[in-house]
Structures are given as C-alpha cells and as structure tokens.
Amino acid sequence: MPTKKVKDPEIAEFEAALLGSVDQALRGEYAAVHTPNQIAARKPGRPAGSTKADAKVSTTIRFDADVLAALKAAGPGWQTRANDALREAFAVKKAAPRRTKVPVRRSISG
C-alpha cells in the first residue's frame, strides 16, 4: 500500500500566506503590478510636481576634518544645520554695513 505524503504544517502555512500575498498584489491592495506595456509607457524622470520650486543644488565643499566631525557628531540633519548656519552667516553680513577704505590725507609740513 502506497504511503500518503503529509505536508509539514509550517510549509502549508507559508504557502497559504504566499498565495494570499500574491492575490493582494494582483488586486493592487498593497502594491501595484505593472505590465511591460505600462512600464514602457511611463515617462522617464521624476513625476511632475514632485520637486520643489526652490530645490537645493548639489555641490562639493571641503571642510576641515574637525569642523566636519563636529557637524556630523550633532547627528542626522547635519547638512541642513550647516546650510542654515551658512544662510544665517551670509544674511548677517548682508545686513551689516560695508566698510570701505577712505584715503587719509596727511599734510607734510616741514
């Protein structure tokens, strides 16, 4: 008499969960399933309206090692804090009156 195969309950539970998640994905409950035609029809780049009007500009800047270590030691968001500090420093300088060199006339008597 042939032996009957018994499925491991853990495997059966896994298979049921996997099939359930595939069904949810196909219905679009948690993730959209895109066909090759849908992917080809998409325009490259970011979606319209997903970028700020005053977007930041990527650049490279060199800091002294101790300055960079102090900025990073403050934790996440150090680049934003550095940007804010630079903005504040330049705003202060713009508001301060500019010093100009005034020639000093000296009389030579003698």
In tens, the pLDDT along 63-101 reads: 999 999 999 999 999 999 999 999 898 886 555 555 666
Do 39 and 60 lie in one domain? The reply is no
Number of domains in the chain: 2
pTM > 0.75: yes or no? no
Answer yes or no: is 18 within a domain.
yes
Residues 6+ apart with CB under 8 A from 81: 71, 74
For the chain, the residue count is: 110
CA 81, distance to chain mean position in Å, is 15
Pairwise pLDDT comparison (56 vs 71), residue with the higher score: 71
**Are the beta carbons of 71 and 78 closer than 8 angstroms?**
yes
Answer yes or no: is 89 within a domain.
yes
pLDDT number for residue 1:
60
Answer yes or no: is 60 within a domain.
yes
Q: What's the CA gap between 18 and 34, in Å, rounded?
A: 19
Asked if residue 13 has pLDDT above 70, the reply is: yes
Range of the domain at 59: 55-96
